[in-house]
Amino acid sequence: MLEENKLSRRQILSGLGASLAVATVGPVLSAEGAIGAAEPAAEPLKDPTTAYPKPPFKSQQQPWPGLASKMEPLPDHGEKSYKGSGRLKGRKALITGGDSGMGRAAAIAYAREGADVAINYLPAEEADAKEVIALIKAAGQKAVAIPGDLRDEAFCKKLVEEAVRQLGGLDIVVSNAARQQQRQSILDLSTEDFDATMKTNIYAPFWIIKAALPHLKPGSAIIGTTSEQATDPSADLYDYAQTKAATTNYVRSLAKQLAPKGIRVNGVAPGPIWTPLQVSGGATQEKLVKFGGDTPMKRPGQPAELAGIYVLLADPLASYATGQVYGSSGGAGMP
């Protein structure tokens, strides 16, 4: 009888232990299965050489400064493709030239990463700007439109003041707006043209950064848009190429000056990108038709393809990157 009782107790304890083990392991396996089932399918690989349109392009021309909404094909700024993950949550950004091109791509990406965004543009670009403002709001972020001409120092100061007031602060400045007009010879370049390019591309960033600096705290970021033209200038972009060399240098110089204050300064150097600059006097019709075809990828880039670079340079995770110029030129190797 005693042995029977012992056996029964052993059997009961053994059965109880097995039940507990199953009860413990069961939910874990079930949870792992549930997690696996909930994971989205991986994005298929996309061949970058065929991802976007290649030349030849339709011959087309617009008056300066041009509208992205009237280009054929339409540029891709990430309107449908860019997905955010909260990398810039709570940030407040000012972007010049935010109506089209890389500025628009940055504005869309920043908003979808959680930042409130103010954009500047010329009054003639209002139609494009309205689309960007709508996209920022659709991302659930505050959108501020501040039209005006950056060639005016007083306006540049007002631009920063308005951005700070309406956003409630400022911690990202993207100096992206630029003027590009091709001239086959220096003899065709007037002093008025030269002056307009210098004021838009060199003076305006100086005025804007100077006005913004008192508002920027440690951890803030300044990003300039330079170009492959800074290191490999085209013969017909004499004045524009000079300004991009200057942009590259101010990025590297200012980075050294502001690093002790905890403010990072970096640049983005695009190659041939499909933007209104090209159709509004920035390229000859002959060049436009073949635009981007001489790169290793045999096509121009799209603004959306640079959005991630602008996000990276504003992201606090890139806290050790300053004084850097990030190229995106389809394999040309610049900068």
Total Cβ atoms within 10 A of residue 229: 22
Cβ–Cβ < 8 Å for 110, 132: no
Write out the two tokens for 119: 């954009």
What pLDDT, on a 0 to 100 scale, did the predictor assign at position 79?
98
Task: Using the structure block, give the residue that is written with the tokens 């617009």.
Answer: 62
Closest CA to 58 of 219, 326, 274: 274
Residue 233 exposed, middle or buried by CB count within 10 Å (0-12, 13-18, 19+): middle
What pLDDT, on a 0 to 100 scale, did the predictor assign at position 37?
52
Cβ–Cβ < 8 Å for 330, 300: yes
Closest CA to 310 of 273, 278, 276: 273
Amino acid at 54: K
What pLDDT, on a 0 to 100 scale, did the predictor assign at position 315?
98
What pLDDT, on a 0 to 100 scale, did the predictor assign at position 11?
46
Please tell me the CATH superfamily of domain 70-328, with its number.
NAD(P)-binding Rossmann-like Domain (3.40.50.720)
Return d(Cα 21, Cα 262) in angstroms, integer.
Answer: 54
Q: What backbone phi and psi angles, to 5 degrees, belong to 107?
A: -60, -45
pLDDT averaged over 10-residue windows placed end to end, the chain, 335 residues: 43 42 40 53 92 97 97 98 97 98 98 98 98 98 98 98 98 98 98 98 98 98 98 97 98 98 98 97 97 97 98 98 97 83
Amino acid at 66: G
Query: 236 Cβ partners below 8 Å, 6+ apart?
Result: 182, 183, 184, 284
Return d(Cα 167, Cα 156) in angstroms, integer.
Answer: 16
What pLDDT, on a 0 to 100 scale, did the predictor assign at position 335?
80
Return d(Cα 15, Cα 225) in angstroms, integer.
Answer: 71
3-class SS of residue 271: coil
What pLDDT, on a 0 to 100 scale, did the predictor assign at position 38?
67
What pLDDT, on a 0 to 100 scale, did the predictor assign at position 18?
42
Residue 175 β-bridge partners: 224
Closest CA to 232 of 248, 221, 218, 216: 248
What pLDDT, on a 0 to 100 scale, did the predictor assign at position 34?
46
Instruction: Name the residues annotated as catalytic.
Output: 240
CA end-to-end span of the chain: 90
Task: Using the structure block, give the residue that is written with the tokens 């009054």.
Answer: 123
What pLDDT, on a 0 to 100 scale, did the predictor assign at position 42?
86
What pLDDT, on a 0 to 100 scale, did the predictor assign at position 122?
98
Q: Distance from CA of residue 40 to its chain's centroid?
A: 26
